[in-house]
Homo-oligomer: A and B are copies of this chain.
Amino acid sequence: MKDMQNQPDGRQIDIDQVGIRDIVYPVTVKDRSKGSQSTVATISMSVNLPHHFKGTHMSRFVEVLNKHRDNISTTSIREILTDMQKSLNADEAHLEMSFKYFIEKKAPVSGQSALMDYDCTFKSALCGDKKDLVMTIHVPVLALCPCSKEISAYGAHNQRSIVSISVRTSSLVWIEELIEYAEGAASSPIYALLKREDEKYVTEKSYENPAFVEDIVRNATEMLDKDERIIWFEVSSTNMESIHNHNAWAVIRRDKRSMS
């Protein structure tokens, strides 16, 4: 059978990235407290394609994914990308994976525990032997409006917000550490399981810690600035306003590498 993909192409046009998208696969991800956890990821894999080739070999992406799926971490990603370069005979390899990450979390007063889910994404590339990795975590939190508290005789509108932190790092930073930064920046963390005494605690704590969407990203920036392992970050907060049918949003981006 003719290998159509290996035919020459005369248009003199390099392709930046070509590959597969939105393949759903079970994966095992490294975990600070238990060593590893099983989850499900949505994955995109691609390579560059020089102008003289007509097409890439799509099935090889799945072969590489299948081989590595039981050992996914920020450190093992280099091996996967290297395997993609070899298998597809390419200079550049790109891998993006989004997955639910679960953490056992104790309620603040009763101590009862249940699992909280977080959306996590690894976006990585290997160009020659130069690796880039952006880790992103989306953390649901509680945000209570300082303006509403200040101007109202009682109460204050509050809502579920998503604090999203993306980082490039010079050494290992755990997903769990980024979650702590995000939660510390908001009016209160939120939980999967709260008994009445916990609900009282969270309600009062959030009322004592009002935070605009602007405050949340500034609070997080102060923490991310101080952490020397983090060399680049973007932090945003999306507040699902309880008084509107749209969201409030703010973002701060910072590249420490260009700031000395």
Q: Which residue of B lies closest to A113 (CB)?
A: B66
Please indicate the chain B residues that have their CB under 8 angstroms from the CB of A1 in the complex: 150-151, 196-197, 200
In the assembled complex, A16 has its CB within 8 A of some CB on chain B: yes
Does A232 count as interface, using CB distance less than 8 angstroms? no
Q: Mark A210-225, 1 if CB is under 8 A from B, else 0.
A: 0011110110011000
When distances are taken between beta carbons in the complex, the residues of chain B under 8 Å from A203 are 148, 151-152, 155-157, 243
Interface presence of A21 (CB below 8 A): yes
Interface centre among A145, A158, A204 (most CB of B within 10 A): A158
Most buried by B among A66, A140, A153, A214: A214
- Check if A15 sits within 8 Å of B252, measured CB to CB: yes
With an 8 A cutoff between CB atoms, is A181 at the interface?
no
Q: Tell whether A91 is near chain B: CB-to-CB under 8 Å.
A: no
- Give the size range of A's interface with the partner: 35 or more
Q: Is the CB of B243 within 8 A of A199?
A: yes
A66 touches B207 (CB 8 A): no
Interface residue A247 (Cβ < 8 Å from any Cβ of B): yes
A202→B155 CA distance, assembly (Å): 10
Tell whether, in the assembled complex, residue B151 and residue A2 are in contact, meaning their CB atoms are under 8 Å apart. yes
Interface flag for A177 (CB, 8 Å): no
**When A15-B218, A116-B245, A248-B20 are in contact, do A212 and B54 touch as well, CB less than 8 Å?**
yes
Check if A44 is an interface residue, CB within 8 A of chain B: yes
A62–B192 CB distance below 8 A: yes
Is B15 in contact with A241, judged by CB distance below 8 angstroms? Answer: no
Copy number in the complex reads 4
B200 with A151: CB separation less than 8 A: yes
Cβ of A209 to closest chain B Cβ, rounded Å = 11
Taking a contact as CB atoms under 8 Å apart, the answer to whether B196 and A147 are in contact is yes
Contact A243 B202 (CB under 8 A): yes
**A196 contacts B20, C-beta separation under 8 Å:** no
Inter-subunit contact B115/A59 (CB<8 Å) = no
Instruction: Indicate if the CB atoms of B242 and A160 lie closer than 8 Å.
Output: yes
* Interchain CB contact under 8 A, A21 and B157: no
Q: A55-B212, A66-B115 are in contact. List 19 more A-B contacts (CB 8 A).
A: A1-B151, A2-B150, A4-B150, A4-B212, A9-B214, A18-B249, A18-B251, A19-B249, A25-B117, A26-B39, A26-B100, A44-B249, A66-B114, A147-B196, A151-B199, A157-B202, A190-B242, A192-B245, A242-B242
Q: What are the nearest 8 A-B pairs in CB distance?
A: A155-B207, A38-B38, A23-B246, A18-B250, A152-B203, A4-B147, A24-B117, A21-B249
